[in-house]
Chains A and B, each alone.
Chain A
Amino acid sequence: MQKHNQKEHLYKLLVIGDLGVGKTSIIKRYVHQNFSPHYRATIGVDFALKVLNWDAETVVRLQLWDIAGQERFGNMTRVYYREAMGAFIVFDVTRPATFEAVTKWKEDLDSKLILPNGKPVPAVLLANKCDQGIDVLMNNGIKMDQFCKENGFVGWFETSAKENININEASRCLVKHIIASESDPVQSVEPDIIKPHLNSSKIVSCSACFKS
C-alpha cells in the first residue's frame, strides 16, 4: 500500500435490539465519549457519525443508525436497513427476554438485507449493561461463542456504555469484518483474527472472532 494514497470508507451501521437495552447509550458513548442516564426513548431512527483513523492509509466514517427498539411500523425497518454494511445487535444482560429477542432481530435483519456478494451483513452481538449485577447467561463464555456461531454473528462482546467497556473493541471488530468482506468477498478468512479463549475473562477482546 502506498502512503500517499489515503483511502476513505463510509459504512452505514445499524444498531438494533429490544427497547431499553441501551442502543442510544452505546452510540452516545462511542461517538460523544460520555454517558448520561437521561436519554429518551428513540422514536423512528436517530443518526450519529463516528470517524475512525483506521490506519495510516485508511479513514473510516461510520454512519450509525440508532433504530427504535419497538419499531413496528410496516416497511420502515426495511428502508432503514437498506445499504447497511454491518450491524450491532444489542441485548441487556440483566434481562433474559432481550437475549431471546436477539435471534428475532437477527432473522429480521438477514431477511431484509443481503450484501452485494450475497452474504448476510456482518453482525456483532453486544451484551450490554455488563456492569450491572449478575448475569446468568454470561457465566458461560463457550456457550455464547456457540450461540454466535449458530446464529451467524461474527463476534460478541460484553459491553457497558456506562463504564465504557468494550465498545471501541466491538466496533473495531465489526469494521474489520466489513473491510475484510469488502476487500475479499470470496474468502472471508482472516489470518490475524483473535481466537477466543476457553477461560475467557469477564472482559474479553473480540471473544468470538472464531472464523478461522
Chain B
Amino acid sequence: ESRWTLVLVSQDGTQRPPLHFPQGGHLLAFLSCLENGLLPRGQLEPPLWSQQGKGKVFPKLRKRNSSKSVDLEEMPAEDTSTDYVFRIIYPGHKHDNTVTINYHHLAASRSTSVDDDEEEEDKLHAMLSMICSRNLTAPNRMKDTSEMIEMQGFGANLLSWQLEHCSQGSSCISCSLGSSPYDIPSCCNCIHDRTPLKMLCESMKRQIISRAFYGWLAHCRHLSTVRTHLSALVNHSIVPPDRPASAAAGLTKEVWSKYQKDKKNYKELELLRRVYYGGVQHEIRKEVWPFLLGHYKFGMAKKEMDQVDADIALRYQKVMAEWKACEVIVKQREKESHSATLAKFSSGSSIDSHVQRLIHRDSTISNDVFLSVDEADSVEQDPKGQEEPALTAAPAAVEFDSPDSGLPSSRNYSVASGILSSIDDGQSGSFEDGAEEEGSTEVGRTEPGTARLQRAKPGVLQPQDSVSEEQLCSQVDYFVDVASVCAASYTVELLDTVALNLHRIDKDVQRCDRNYWYFTAENLEKLRNVMCSYVWEHLEVGYVQGMCDLLAPLMVILDNDQLAYSCFSHLMKRMSQNFPNGGAMDTHFANMRSLIQILDSELFELMHQNGDYTHFYFCYRWFLLDFKR
C-alpha cells in the first residue's frame, strides 16, 4: 500500500471517512498547511518537525507524555512505526468559562461534585477517548493503511476556539466538528469561511450534548456489562410468592402431611416454593431435609425410601470400617514414633532399633483366630495402597515383607481384615461366617472395606446397628499388633494423609458449635464419625476447616449419623466447590463485586479508595459456611 490515509475523528468519537493521499509528500503538505492555518491559537500536537532542506517532516517522537490521561488509550497503533496520531490543541484557551460551564451542567447528571473542573474534564476525556479508540480499532479497513492520522479536536478548548474563530470568520474549524460526514470534504477545502454564527451555535450545542451523551453512554455500557454478567446468574423464570397461595407460612405440618397422603400427585415445585419463601416448620425439618438435600426423592414410596436407607446404612458401615481400620494403624504409628522420640531423648537409642523391637514383638503374636481369610478369589489390588505381592504363607508364619521394615518411613503398614470381621461379628453374630474361612491358609491381600462389602449381606447390618465404640476400641486395642501383619497395606503417604486429616477433624469436631446443648461427647463422636467417613471418601480434598460447620446443623436436625452422612454427602456436592480445591469461591467474589458495583456504587468506590478491598475476601466465611456465621 503506497497510499497514505488520513482519518479524522471528531472529539465526540465519530470517525469520518478516510481521506486518501497519493505518495509523495501530499499528506505532509496538507498537514503543514493545516498547522499554519491553525496558528496562532491552535496547533498540532505533536507538532511537525522542520528539517533543513526538506521542509516539514513527521515528528520522530513516539511517546507522548501529555498530562491528559487519555493518551495511552487512544494510541492503539503506537507500536507500528507508520501510524501517527495528532491532536489539535488550543493552549491559549484552556479554561473558557462559558463552554466549560455548559459542559459541567450537562455532566452533572452523573456526578454532583464538579468543584474540580480539571479532574472532571479529564474524566470525560478519558471516556470519550475510550469510545474513540473503540471506533478506531473496529473497522478492518483501517488495518491495511500504511499511514493513519487521526485528527482529534479536543473538548471545550476547541469549542471556545471555534466560537472565536467563527466570529473572525477565518478558520478551518469544522475539520473535526462537522455534524455530518459530508462536511469534511468541504471543510478541508476551506470553503465555508463565513459560516453563520447561528449555525455554529447550533453545532456547539450539539457537541455539548453529544459529549455528555457519550460520557453517559460509556457509563451505561459498563454497567450493562456488569448487569449482563449478573443476570446470567439469575433464574429468569420467576416463581411468584403468592400464587397459587401465599407461601409466607412456609412448609407447614399440614401441607407436609397432605403431601405424604398423596405422594402420587405431589407437586414438588409447590413444596419447594413454600420452602423458598417461608422455610420449613421446625417440627418437620427432620423429615423434610432429607428430601431437600436429595437423600430421598420427592414421590418416593415408603418401600423405596427404606431401600435408600438400607443402602446408605450399608455404605456407611463399610466406610466406617475402612477408616477405622486405617485409624488403628495411624494411632499405632503415632505411638511408635512418640515412643521412639522418647527413647531417643531418654536413652539415646536409635529409632530404628526401637521400632524394630516393636515389630518383632508383633510377629510373635498368635493371630490365627482373627485373621479372617476372605474369599480366596477376591484377591484384589489395593486401590489406595501400593500393590504388593500376595502372601502365600500361612498367617502364623507371616513375616514382614519389607526388608527395611525397621524404618517407619519406608514401611508399609498392614491391617488385618480380621479386625473388621470381628467388629462385624460382634454386631451381627455372623462370626461363623468368618470362622468357616479361617481354615484356609491363603491370605488374600484385600482392601478391608472391599472385603466387607462383599461379605456384608443386606439385613445383617441394620441401620440402627451402629458400631459400638467401646467394643470397637477394645477389639482394636487387642488387634493393634495383629493389624500390622497382614491383609491390606497402606502406603506411608496414605497414612500420613489420614493422620493429618484425622487430626484436623479431631481439632475441629471438639470445638464445633460446642456451646450448643446438642453437642455432648456422644454426639460429638457421631459428628466425628460422619466427618471422617466423608473425608475418607474424599481424601484427595481432605478435611478443610468449615466442613464441620456445615455438618453440625444436619446432625442437630437429623440426629442420625447415617442420615446425616448421606445428607452431608449430598450437600457437599454443591458446597465442595467453595472449598479451596473447587473454583466457586472466586466466582462468588466476582459476583459480589458486580453486585455491590450495581447496587451501591458509592460503597464500592469507598472500598476501592481505602486500600482496595474489592477482592471481597471478607465475605469468605459467609460463602464458605452458607451464611451460618
Residues of chain A touching chain B, judged by Cβ–Cβ distance below 8 Å, are 19-20, 38-45, 68-70, 72-76, 79-80, 83, 96-97, 136, 139
Residues in A whose Cβ lies below 8 Å from that of B611: 83
Residues in A whose Cβ lies below 8 Å from that of B620: 43-45, 73, 76
B625 at the interface (CB under 8 A from A): yes
Among residues of B, the one whose C-beta sits closest to the C-beta of A96 is B341
Distance (whole angstroms) from the CB of B310 to the closest CB of chain A: 34
> In this complex, which of A19, A41, A69, A79 has the most chain B Cβ atoms within 10 angstroms of its Cβ?
A41
Show 14 residue pairs from A and B whose CB-CB distance is below 8 angstroms, ordered by the A residue. A19-B504, A19-B545, A40-B549, A40-B629, A42-B545, A43-B621, A43-B625, A44-B618, A44-B620, A44-B621, A68-B545, A73-B580, A74-B585, A79-B615
Query: When chains A and B are docked, how far (Å) is the Cα of A19 from the Cα of B341?
Result: 23
Residues in B whose Cβ lies below 8 Å from that of A39: 511
B342 at the interface (CB under 8 A from A): yes
Distance (whole angstroms) from the CB of A185 to the closest CB of chain B: 23
Residues in A whose Cβ lies below 8 Å from that of B546: 41, 43
Residues in A whose Cβ lies below 8 Å from that of B38: none
Whether B507 pairs with A19 at a CB distance below 8 angstroms is yes
Query: When chains A and B are docked, how far (Å) is the Cα of A41 from the Cα of B580?
Result: 17
Whether B580 pairs with A38 at a CB distance below 8 angstroms is no
Query: When chains A and B are docked, how far (Å) is the Cα of A147 from the Cα of B548?
Result: 35
| Segment 539-568 of B: residues with Cβ below 8 Å from A | 544-546, 548-549
- Contact of A43 with B549 at beta-carbon distance under 8 Å, contacts A38-B515, A70-B504, A76-B617 already known: yes
Whether A40 pairs with B585 at a CB distance below 8 angstroms is no
Residues of chain B touching chain A, judged by Cβ–Cβ distance below 8 Å, are 341-342, 345, 503-504, 507-508, 511-515, 544-546, 548-549, 580, 585-586, 611, 615, 617-618, 620-621, 624-625, 629
Whether B617 pairs with A44 at a CB distance below 8 angstroms is yes
Whether A38 pairs with B345 at a CB distance below 8 angstroms is no
Query: When chains A and B are docked, how far (Å) is the Cα of A20 from the Cα of B507?
Result: 6
Residues in B whose Cβ lies below 8 Å from that of A79: 615, 617
Query: When chains A and B are docked, how far (Å) is the Cα of A43 from the Cα of B549?
Result: 10
Whether B545 pairs with A41 at a CB distance below 8 angstroms is yes
Task: Return the 9 tightest CB-CB contacts between A and B, nearest first.
Answer: A20-B507, A44-B620, A72-B580, A43-B621, A70-B545, A44-B621, A41-B508, A41-B545, A73-B580
> In this complex, which of A19, A44, A45, A136 has the most chain B Cβ atoms within 10 angstroms of its Cβ?
A44
Excluding A41-B507, A70-B545, A72-B580, 6 further A-B contacts by CB distance (< 8 Å) are A40-B511, A42-B545, A43-B624, A73-B585, A76-B620, A136-B345
Query: When chains A and B are docked, how far (Å) is the Cα of A45 from the Cα of B512?
Result: 17
Query: When chains A and B are docked, how far (Å) is the Cα of A42 from the Cα of B545?
Result: 8
Query: When chains A and B are docked, how far (Å) is the Cα of A136 from the Cα of B339?
Result: 11
- Contact of A43 with B545 at beta-carbon distance under 8 Å, contacts A38-B511, A136-B345 already known: yes
Query: When chains A and B are docked, how far (Å) is the Cα of A41 from the Cα of B621?
Result: 11
Residues in A whose Cβ lies below 8 Å from that of B549: 40-41, 43
Whether A40 pairs with B513 at a CB distance below 8 angstroms is yes
Query: When chains A and B are docked, how far (Å) is the Cα of A19 from the Cα of B512?
Result: 13
Interchain CB contact (< 8 A) of A74 among B342, B586, B621 = B586
Query: When chains A and B are docked, how far (Å) is the Cα of A73 from the Cα of B586?
Result: 10
Query: When chains A and B are docked, how far (Å) is the Cα of A97 from the Cα of B337?
Result: 12
Whether A44 pairs with B511 at a CB distance below 8 angstroms is no
- Contact of A41 with B511 at beta-carbon distance under 8 Å, contacts A19-B545, A74-B580 already known: yes
Whether A69 pairs with B511 at a CB distance below 8 angstroms is no
Distance (whole angstroms) from the CB of A212 to the closest CB of chain B: 31
Residues in B whose Cβ lies below 8 Å from that of A38: 511, 514-515
- Contact of A72 with B511 at beta-carbon distance under 8 Å, contacts A43-B620, A96-B341 already known: no
Query: When chains A and B are docked, how far (Å) is the Cα of A96 from the Cα of B334?
Result: 11
Among residues of A, the one whose C-beta sits closest to the C-beta of B514 is A38
Residues in A whose Cβ lies below 8 Å from that of B544: 70, 72
Distance (whole angstroms) from the CB of A63 to the closest CB of chain B: 13
Query: When chains A and B are docked, how far (Å) is the Cα of A20 from the Cα of B506?
Result: 10
Interchain CB contact (< 8 A) of B342 among A69, A72, A136 = A136
Distance (whole angstroms) from the CB of A95 to the closest CB of chain B: 8
Distance (whole angstroms) from the CB of B153 to the closest CB of chain A: 44
> In this complex, which of A40, A79, A80 has the most chain B Cβ atoms within 10 angstroms of its Cβ?
A40
Residues in A whose Cβ lies below 8 Å from that of B341: 96, 136
Query: When chains A and B are docked, how far (Å) is the Cα of A167 from the Cα of B618?
Result: 27
Among residues of B, the one whose C-beta sits closest to the C-beta of A95 is B503
Distance (whole angstroms) from the CB of B221 to the closest CB of chain A: 29
Distance (whole angstroms) from the CB of B346 to the closest CB of chain A: 10
Distance (whole angstroms) from the CB of A99 to the closest CB of chain B: 12
Distance (whole angstroms) from the CB of B81 to the closest CB of chain A: 39
Query: When chains A and B are docked, how far (Å) is the Cα of A81 from the Cα of B625?
Result: 23
Residues in B whose Cβ lies below 8 Å from that of A80: 617
